[in-house]
Amino acid sequence: MSVYNRENQLILIVEVKRRSNPSLPWVLELGWKIFESKNFPKSPYIMLVFTDSIYLWSNLNHQKQIAEPSYIIDATPIFQPYFERAGVTADQINPQSFEMIVTSWLREIIHSQTFGKESDQSQQWLVESGLGTAIAGGFFQYEDIA
């Protein structure tokens, strides 16, 4: 999926995979495929989301290649409440349901009136990276990228 800001500019490309503990080489290869994709214009952020981790590359506007992610986040505290509400574990959830969870989480960030004012340390990286502010008031577009 792609996330645009309120000025209709592409800010974030998101790829959701229902798997856990991906190897860093595999994550880097997938990130490179998305970065190099001819189907999408360049985006300042790329996010790969797994049931237990999130990989975020930031400030990609003028880069010719990508290296290791800018942020590697433990996603357990972020997604565990969603899994509990759905009555499943990360290992049990199906890919479509996990994508819906990720969409719900991103929608909360996009439409939050208090983003960055809360003291949720599990999402401090959204503030530090500038992503939370960049997508505030934005919208989604669904596309297959990888």
pLDDT in tens, 89-116: 999 999 999 999 999 999 999 998 766 5
Q: What is the mean pLDDT of residues 116-130?
A: 77
Instruction: Name the average pLDDT for the chain.
Output: 88
Number of neighbouring beta carbons within 10 Å of residue 25: 8
pLDDT in tens, 129-138: 999 999 999 9
